[in-house]
Amino acid sequence: MATLELRNVHKTYGVGLPDTLKDIQLAIKDGEFLILVGPSGCGKSTLMNCIAGLESISGGAILIDDEDVSGMSPKDRDIAMVFQSYALYPTMNVRDNIAFGLKIRKMPQAAIDQEVARVAKLLQIEHLLERKPGQLSGGQQQRVAMGRALARRPKIYLFDEPLSNLDAKLRVEMRTEIKLMHQRLKTTTVYVTHDQIEAMTLGDKVAVMKDGIIQQFGTPQQIYNDPANLFVASFIGSPPMNFIPVRLTKQDGRVLALLDSGQARCELPLGVAADELEGREIILGVRPEQIALGAEQGNGLPGIRAEVQVTEPTGPDLLVFVTLNQTKVCCRLAPDVACRVGDSLNLQFDPARVLLFDAGSGERLDLAATAVKDNVTRFKGR
Amino acid sequence: MTTATARLRASPLDALQRWLPKLVLAPSMFIVLVGFYGYILWTFVLSFTTSTFLPTYKWAGLAQYARLFDNDRWWVASKNLLLFGGLFIGITLAIGVFLAVLLDQRIRREGFIRTIYLYPMALSMIVTGTAWKWLLNPGMGLDKLLRDWGWEGFRLDWLIDPDRVVYCLVIAAVWQASGFIMAMFLAGLRGVDQSIIRAAQLDGASLPRIYWTVVLPSLRPVFFSSLMILSHIAIKSFDLVAAMTAGGPGYSSDLPAMFMYSFTFSRGQMGMGSASAILMLGAILAILVPYLYSELRGKRHD
Amino acid sequence: MTSLTDKPALNLSRIAIHAVLLLAVLLYLVPLVVMLLTSFKTPEDIGSGNLLSWPTAFTAIGWSKAWATVSGYFVNSILITVPAVLISTAIGALNGYVLSMWRFRGSQLFFGLLLFGCFLPFQTVLLPASFTLGKLGLASTTSGLVLVHVVYGLAFTTLFFRNYYVSIPEALVKAARLDGAGFFTIFGRIILPMSTPIIMVCLIWQFTQIWNDFLFGVVFSSGDSQPITVALNNLVNTSTGAKEYNVDMAAAMIAGLPTLLVYVVAGKYFVRGLTAGAVKG
């Protein structure tokens, strides 16, 4: 049971080489489940290795329970890790795999036996104890790897993409199981993944990483609803958020985004006017489920007619693709919507929920903030 | 700042753990630096001295190399190496590939046959040389056998014929190494993607044609590795000559390795012997460097 | 590439293939058969018959004479080979372990330098090595030969283990470190138990190389410390007295039997070693 804090953690593999980790800054409370998520090569695994002490950091500090562990060897940090490849010792049977760390730590044999029995029961692997890892299925190996981590009762668990070697069905099962385990044991956990579903479902806190930098750190809901930039918005969510390049115009003091489906045009009002947005290259971010099928009699929301190009029924949803501003846009509709390729649909956007990004920097443009700022300037102007 | 605290925290045992890998490797690093590169340098230096029976460090410039190039025996040895190397490598590769392709046709008892082809590789070149010296013995060996079997005019006296004695070395060396090349190519053939062959079969190509145009070209890496190893064996060949001909008749079957040994250790021409050793190293490097270069370049391509 | 057609038909070309392969088997076997036949013949028998004629009477006189001549050198070869194989394999295993699992700045460069040793023509180090052995007081001793074989065998043994260990997932070492195990504990408890195949390959390779060595033997030993290969060569190439080919062949068989035996018993590892050594780096 422990808190974990990373202070300005920096990592480089040599002078002149690009930084692998840049100024990593985050803290989690006792018992929290932290997800490090990002594409391969973003530095998430390096960061995990640094937390474990398997790699040294070049600058900053790692604190566990407010104690600086940066210089400690892995064995003194009291951390256990579950690896993507499971890393079970192939020449030892399951019992010895679980007991290895306890033996090294010179725990008395009776206590070891007791601990192995406890863990085996917890993970329902009692019948596998005498087998070698080579005789186990992927899911069973996964359980043993978790058992090895659980046996030491460490302060922090680290999971390094533990589910990515499992087939789809097993992955979902194990995901739930890991969550159950965490709810029961309440041990502080850091979990590395490139799978955004795992990130959303498992984490109390999520850190989205790219190029060695934390792009955003927050709860899954914050990451999903309030992404800090284009990258975070595109990485989280499936099917991914639509990004529509738009031109803005001003009318009656309001900013309008122009949408063009080829057969119709629409001006989407974007809340309050913001002078600095005018004429800039802006990207409109809309999640597929935030595009609604417009009612015939109109409900006040702006809408646009667009031609259906492809439909993909997924079971629970119907994904419909249309083209807006020469960009393919995915809409997530109810499965019972009757529509065929070539049909024309009336699509509606809730202006309050669309996001705006700067096309150049990818940074999120906070409408509310600009609005407030706008108000302030306006107020001053008065 | 953090690194400073890190150092403070590290216990002496941790520090030892951190140094252990380097400590473990240190003796080998010393051995390699001294025993490999230091000694090469030493030999290089000796080749520029007047050393005879004992090493002296009197500078002789390129005199030893000049003497070497004036030495008829060195030229014979070098030409022999080209002849021996060329024939040995060519024939060994041809036989090795041929047998590998035949063995790849789902042969019953393949394991047994492979074992027979490969067993000479387990033998010392001295044993091989002894055996073949007896087999090629003029008057008592194959010479007599084939006459006994009815080939009246058969003569096989290459072992005492200065113009043909090198062929005897080639025969013995091919017998020893061809099974090994066969094994390498067979392993390579087993790694060839089945679907390529199926695709070629669907295109209507005949089996020999598939091998010649599709399968064998894909074994280029194996081919180059084999070439490397065989040239290496050829240049280092010493024991085979020692056992079969001792360089004779006269010095007609000398090879550079034999030359180096006899001038350095029997004739007390340390300086010239060193010079010849350096030239041998040069020959190896001339083959090795392009090979490694192409290997590395190839890897970068992937 | 085991099969090209699903059912090999017994047609003409397949018969031809089998015939060629069988002929090659016979050709490869001839020298061994000749050696065996000759070694069991009497000198008179050798003179009157030919290479493949059946001995009129089998006699072990050649073998007993040969053994009397070379037995001491046979023992020398054992005294040289066994320690040299064990030591060079042990060092190679540790080196390979460091070079794959505990890399540090410069370790890759060192591996590159070491690799070159696989190609090194030993002629370029013979003289300095003999001076060094002289200085160490090991000239013309079996211990000196052990040392030389260990030093110049390191390149291959390290290569074997390094290439085997790089295929072991690094996570295994990481897991063990988190479990609290140190450098030697990880090696002894986790890595070494996984190394049986490569240990076999390395032992067999080194055994064949060192047992069959002639160059180091002839340069660094003399008289009583010579290995069997040097003794065999001396025996075969002495020009004094009548040649006793049966003794020569028996001695050659004696010199070749240990490696042949290893090949027959553990041929799988022998081939793997050859090809592993061949596909360097």
Arch. (CATH architecture) of A242-381: Beta Barrel (2.40)
Q: How far is B59 from chain C (nearest CA, A)?
A: 18
Which range in A242-256, A271-285, A293-307, B124-138 is most confidently predicted, on average pLDDT?
B124-138
Coil, strand or helix at B295:
helix
Q: Are residues C29 and C152 in the same domain?
A: no
What is the pLDDT confidence band of residue B10, given thresholds at 50, 70 and 90?
Answer: low
Edge-to-edge strand list for the sheet holding A327-333: A310-313, A318-324, A327-333
Q: Would you say how long chain C is, in residues?
A: 281
List the one residue out of A292, A296, A308, A293 whose CA is nearest residue A343: A308
Q: Which domain holds residue C41?
A: 1-59
Contacting residues for A93 by C-beta, under 8 A, at least 6 apart: A129, A130, A131, A132
DSSP for B56-112, please give it. ---B-TTHHHHHHHH-HHHHHHHHHHHHHHHHHHHHHHHHHHHHHHHHTTT-TTHHH
pLDDT surpassing 60 at residue B301 = no
Those chains having 3 or more beta-carbon pairs within 8 angstroms of chain B are A, C
Q: Are residues C230 and C245 in the same domain?
A: yes
pLDDT for position A351? 78
Question: Is B57 an 8 Å CB contact of chain C?
Answer: no
pLDDT surpassing 50 at residue B3 = no
Chain A residue with the nearest C-alpha to that of C174: A54
Q: Are residues C27 and C93 in the same domain?
A: no
CB within 8 Å of chain A, chain C residues 191-220:
193-194
CB within 8 Å of chain C, chain A residues 82-101:
83-87, 89-92, 100-101
Most A CBs within 10 Å, among B2, B5, B19, to test the A interface = B2
Coil, strand or helix at A208:
strand
CB within 8 Å of chain A, chain C residues 137-156:
none
Q: Are residues C103 and C188 in the same domain?
A: yes
Q: For residue B2, which residues of chain A lie inside 8 Å, CB to CB?
A: 57, 59-61, 68, 70-71
Contacting residues for C60 by C-beta, under 8 A, at least 6 apart: C40
Q: For residue B10, which residues of chain A lie inside 8 Å, CB to CB?
A: 71, 73
pLDDT for position B1? 38
pLDDT for position B225? 84
| Helix (H) / strand (E) containing A319 | strand A318-324
Q: How far is A80 from chain C (nearest CA, A)?
A: 6
Q: How far is A104 from chain B (nearest CA, A)?
A: 15
Q: How far is C58 from chain A (nearest CA, A)?
A: 52
- In this structure, of A155-159, A269-273, B155-159, the range with the lowest mean pLDDT score is A269-273
Q: DSSP letter for B1, please.
A: -
Q: Are residues C150 and C230 in the same domain?
A: yes
Alpha-carbon distances, residue A26 vs A62, A79, A207, A217, C175 (angstroms): 10, 18, 8, 8, 25
pLDDT for position B217? 87
pLDDT surpassing 80 at residue B11 = no
Residue, of B223 and B15, whose pLDDT is higher = B223
pTM, two decimals, is 0.85
Question: Of the candidates C59, C79, C97, which is a domain's last residue?
Answer: C59
At the topology level, CATH places domain A4-235 in: Rossmann fold (3.40.50)
Q: Are residues C225 and C172 in the same domain?
A: yes
The rounded distance, in Å, linking the Cα atoms of C263 and C277 is 16
What is the pLDDT confidence band of residue B4, given thresholds at 50, 70 and 90?
Answer: very low
The rounded distance, in Å, linking the Cα atoms of C144 and C138 is 5
pLDDT surpassing 90 at residue A358 = no
The rounded distance, in Å, linking the Cα atoms of C280 and B269 is 35
Summarised one tens digit per residue, pLDDT across range A274-290 is: 666 666 678 989 999 88
Coil, strand or helix at C173:
helix
User: Across the strands, what pairs with A7?
Assistant: A61
What is the pLDDT confidence band of residue A372, given thresholds at 50, 70 and 90?
Answer: very low
What is the pLDDT confidence band of residue B300, given thresholds at 50, 70 and 90?
Answer: low
The rounded distance, in Å, linking the Cα atoms of B101 and A234 is 54
Q: Are residues C45 and C82 in the same domain?
A: no
pLDDT surpassing 70 at residue A380 = no
| Structural domains in chain C (count) | 2
Q: Are residues C115 and C10 in the same domain?
A: no
Question: Of the candidates C18, C41, C59, which is a domain's last residue?
Answer: C59
Q: Where are the alpha helices (DSSP H) in chain B?
A: 2-9, 12-31, 39-46, 63-70, 72-103, 110-118, 125-135, 142-148, 165-190, 194-202, 207-210, 220-236, 239-244, 256-261, 270-301
pLDDT surpassing 70 at residue A191 = yes
The rounded distance, in Å, linking the Cα atoms of A241 and A230 is 10
Global ipTM: 0.88
Q: Are residues C131 and C40 in the same domain?
A: no
Summarised one tens digit per residue, pLDDT across range B68-119 is: 999 999 999 999 999 999 999 999 999 999 999 999 888 888 888 998 998 9
Q: Are residues C69 and C13 in the same domain?
A: no
Most C CBs within 10 Å, among A89, A119, A192, to test the C interface = A89
Domain residues of chain A, as ranges? 4-235, 242-381
Q: What are phi and psi of C217, to 5 degrees?
A: -60, -45
Residue, of C242 and A86, whose pLDDT is higher = A86
Which residue ranges of chain C lie beneath pLDDT 70?
A: 1-10, 239-241, 274-281
Percent of chain A whose predicted confidence (pLDDT) is above 90: 50
Most C CBs within 10 Å, among B25, B40, B215, to test the C interface = B25
CB C209 within 8 A of CB B233: no
Alpha-carbon distances, residue B49 vs A28, B55, B58, C158 (angstroms): 73, 8, 5, 35
Q: Are residues C233 and C274 in the same domain?
A: yes
CB B301 within 8 A of CB B221: no
Summarised one tens digit per residue, pLDDT across range A24-34 is: 999 999 999 99
**Residue among A59, A60, A71 minimizing CB distance to B9:** A71
pLDDT surpassing 60 at residue B2 = no
Alpha-carbon distances, residue C80 vs B128, C144, C148, C150, C212 (angstroms): 21, 9, 10, 10, 11
Chain A residue with the nearest C-alpha to that of C180: A75
In the numeric block, which tokens belong to residue A369?
Answer: 């903030």
Question: Of the candidates C20, C43, C59, which is a domain's last residue?
Answer: C59
Question: Is C102 an 8 Å CB contact of chain A?
Answer: no
Q: Are residues C77 and C144 in the same domain?
A: yes
At the topology level, CATH places domain B72-301 in: MetI-like fold (1.10.3720)
Summarised one tens digit per residue, pLDDT across range A101-144 is: 999 988 999 999 999 999 999 889 999 999 999 999 988 999 99
Cα within 13 Å of Cα(A222), Cβ side: 12
Q: What are phi and psi of A16, to 5 degrees?
A: 90, -20
The rounded distance, in Å, linking the Cα atoms of C121 and C103 is 28
The count of CB pairs under 8 A between chains A and B is 27
